[in-house]
């Protein structure tokens, strides 16, 4: 089972926007905090300074990639001395309408910093231990790209498409950005102990099998005992190992996964609330409504109505 495919399909990971930039010093921008999104910046030419939260600033050079997986606010600039106005102000001042290249400054084009910036979205209320374990940012330097040839090839394709005027280039980039997110996540595992533990949980013969059971049959009346039995472990050993790898207990993981599947079905199907309750393992619609409302603060029917109203 491809867990990544299943998880990010359920969470509705989708590339939705990209644009190119051409920044001439002095320049700077503050990207605001966004919920349920991920952003990436690929440096095509020049260099820039990246800062997020209390983390030390880092310099990005041509060929470097940085991903902000949970959409936290960050600044990008040519130096620490440059002002970093809000992104909305920068777009307004540049009279940028979302088409073509976002340009700031009037310096030497050959000396400017060129970026390809992408924006990916998740379903509203999307949650998973993988997302929670991700750091504020992930990076891939140009010198490390050779170690990850698939990711390197995709980034080259994105760069080529970004500077192409062919029909479909924008669509290609937004689709490729989804692969970038997943491949960068894989590439970053060895540098992040929490992520490494969770991903090793999916690969663990025992815990991985229990996760496959949860993912493929969330409607089954699973308990810690029945899951432990299925993977030939004692209840206590299974529970402790699951917690140590996944960062949450098996019943909490099961409950959260059922609700994420329910969110997906509410968004993408016309099944009734009662049918969704049954497909996701709840004994009654009222039990499902209580669990859903308790987790998300909104009843399933109201959530569906709010999503329908957006379209």
**Contact of 26 with 82, CB cutoff 8 Å:** yes
Q: Is 45 helix (H, G, I), strand (E, B) or coil?
A: strand
The per-residue pLDDT for 24 is 87
**Is the pLDDT at 309 greater than 80, yes or no?**
no
**Contact of 98 with 75, CB cutoff 8 Å:** no
% pLDDT > 90, the chain:
75
**Contact of 91 with 19, CB cutoff 8 Å:** no
Decide which of 222 and 124 is more confident: 222
In degrees and rounded to multiples of 5, residue 175 shows phi and psi of: -70, -45
The per-residue pLDDT for 111 is 67
Q: Where would I find the beta strands (DSSP E) of the chain?
A: 14-23, 28-31, 37-45, 47-51, 58-61, 65-68, 74-77, 101-104, 113-121, 138-140
Model confidence band, residue 106 (pLDDT cutoffs 50, 70, 90) = low
Stated pTM of the model: 0.88
% pLDDT > 70, the chain:
96
Q: Is 86 helix (H, G, I), strand (E, B) or coil?
A: strand
The per-residue pLDDT for 311 is 55
Strands 47-51 and 74-77: antiparallel
**Is the pLDDT at 3 greater than 90, yes or no?**
no
Mean pLDDT is lowest, of 99-103, 123-127, 169-173, for 99-103
Q: Map out the domains of the chain with their CATH numbers.
A: 3-188 (2.60.120.280), 204-309 (1.10.10.60)
Q: What is the mean pLDDT of residues 108-134?
A: 88
Decide which of 30 and 186 is more confident: 30
**Contact of 113 with 43, CB cutoff 8 Å:** yes
Interatomic CA distance for residues 146 and 143, integer angstroms: 7
CA distances from 16 to 7, 39, 178, 200 (A): 18, 10, 9, 30
The per-residue pLDDT for 310 is 67
**Is the pLDDT at 150 greater than 90, yes or no?**
yes
The per-residue pLDDT for 306 is 87
Mean pLDDT of the chain: 92
């Amino acid at each position: 089972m491809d867990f990544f495919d299943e998880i990010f399909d359920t969470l509705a990971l989708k590339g939705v926007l990209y644009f190119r930039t051409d920044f001439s010093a002095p320049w700077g921008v503050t990207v605001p905090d966004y919920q349920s999104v991920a952003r990436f910046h690929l440096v095509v030419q020049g260099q820039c300074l990246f800062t997020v939260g209390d983390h030390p600033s880092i310099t990005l050079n041509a060929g470097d990639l940085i991903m902000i997986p949970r959409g936290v606010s960050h600044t990008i600039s040519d130096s620490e001395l440059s002002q970093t106005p809000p992104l909305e102000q920068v777009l307004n001042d540049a009279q940028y309408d979302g088409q073509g290249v976002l340009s700031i400054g009037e310096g030497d084009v050959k000396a400017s910093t060129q970026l390809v910036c992408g924006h990916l979205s998740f379903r509203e209320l999307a949650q998973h231990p993988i997302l929670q374990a991700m750091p504020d940012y992930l990076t891939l330097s140009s010198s490390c790209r050779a170690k990850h040839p698939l990711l390197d090839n995709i980034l080259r394709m994105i760069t080529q498409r970004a500077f192409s005027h062919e029909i479909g280039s924008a669509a290609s980039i937004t689709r490729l950005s989804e692969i970038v997110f997943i491949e960068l996540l894989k590439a970053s595992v060895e540098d992040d102990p929490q992520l490494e533990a969770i991903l090793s949980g999916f690969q663990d013969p025992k815990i991985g099998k229990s996760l496959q059971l949860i993912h493929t049959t969330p409607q089954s009346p699973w308990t810690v005992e029945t899951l432990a039995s299925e993977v030939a472990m004692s209840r206590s050993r299974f529970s402790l190992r699951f917690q140590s790898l996944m960062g949450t207990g098996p019943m909490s993981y099961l409950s959260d996964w059922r609700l994420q599947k329910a969110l997906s079905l509410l968004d993408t199907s016309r099944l009734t609330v009662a049918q969704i309750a049954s497909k996701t393992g709840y004994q009654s619609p009222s039990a499902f409504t209580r669990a859903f409302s308790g987790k998300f603060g909104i009843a399933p029917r109201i959530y569906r109505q709010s999503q329908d109203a957006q379209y």
